[in-house]
Amino acid sequence: MPSATSFASSLQGLLSFVACTQQEELQELRSHGCRCVFYSTQTLTFAAIERDVYSDQTDNTSSFSVTCLEHLLHLLQSQLRFLLSDQGLHVLQRQPNYDLCQRLHGTERVTRSLTGLWAVHPTLRFKDFGVPFVRLQLAGRRQVTRMLAAAGEAETEHLTSAMICAVLLAKEKVVAIAQPKKKQFSMRVDDLLLLIDFVYHAPSLAASETWTPVCLPHFSPRGFLYAYVAFLTTDVCLLLLSSQPSPEQCPHFQAKKVFVARRLEDSGAMDDIRASLRNHSEWRPHRDLPLLLHFIYKNELTGECAEPALGFPFDDADFHTRLQLLNAYATVHHLMFPSLADPHSLRASQVLAECLLSLQDDTAASSCKDKRRSAKRQRYNNKVA
């Protein structure tokens, strides 16, 4: 079996051959039993290969599969920008043969999880879909949102001005999100999906509280914001985003974490979150509808998504059966939400708030001023006295 390096070289040679002989960019390649889709930028080429399981299905189903593969490649590109930002990728323009592996060391698990989740979850598989939310009563979710936005007893004016977003997650789903600066910052759905994947699959984040730069490519691909990540339990994580790079904010964010954790326990909200996660497998609101085997709920105004656990006939280990279900959803999604005429525009459900350009510009400017600080991930351990 050829090595990954030689295989990548063969693909690059094929792309160069088509570009030289036909003056066109190779976008898709089909052979017996597999399909390969390419996506190229100025400096990088992304490729996705899958086994062809559509030989007995319609051309429309096959075309939806290609669309999903193309979306995977865009997710992988966004993940690179999430980790390095466009500033970090500019090195490839100066040195085309530069090896990014060293700068991406330790992120392999995050990439594997992203591709694995894409294979089975509609929120990642389909373009312009949504984010999985923990099922809670509306009053309960609003209560948690107010906790995230409220100022704790130990909070300072500096923290209040620096924090632009607070997110509470549970088992890779959103519990609540607070954006105290909605006129400056808006969380995009695709950025939130990348954040969730990073938080739960980066090997070191669950071990201790962490202060790390992150680039939200759909908000401002040129620079970094800064994330404080703290797991309140094994499954529940508090994520605070700041526009300021200084790690001196960590004690203030730690005080915020203590405040939120105490309020969650005292109000009973943490018990509600645990109960929702524990009882999710038993949630069957469609059990009285014999012809309805499965469904996905999406709030088109907020991007919130929810789906019951798979039951018969989709609960076995047959990946082909699961793929048939996803393809059926792809068809329905395409019919309900056809592609926008302007590919750069966003649906209302893909933006969780409106924003101004000022913070985006400030984020990029901050990154330019201190590239070394942006590139270096700093950790803050709560065990330090």
Q: What is the pLDDT of residue 346?
A: 59
Q: How far apart are CA 165 and CA 281, in angstroms?
A: 31
Fold of 131-278+347-379: Beta-Lactamase (3.30.450)
Of the pLDDT bands very low, low, confident and very high (cuts 50, 70, 90), residue 345 is low
Residue 381 pLDDT exceeds 50: no
Domain boundaries, the chain: 131-278+347-379
For 272-286, what is the mean pLDDT?
91
Strands ordered across the beta sheet of 173-178: 173-178, 163-170, 236-242, 225-231, 210-214, 378-379
Q: How far apart are CA 32 and CA 198, in angstroms?
A: 35
Q: What percent of the chain has pLDDT over 70?
A: 79
Summarised one tens digit per residue, pLDDT across range 221-267 is 888 999 999 999 999 999 999 988 887 888 889 999 999 999 999 99
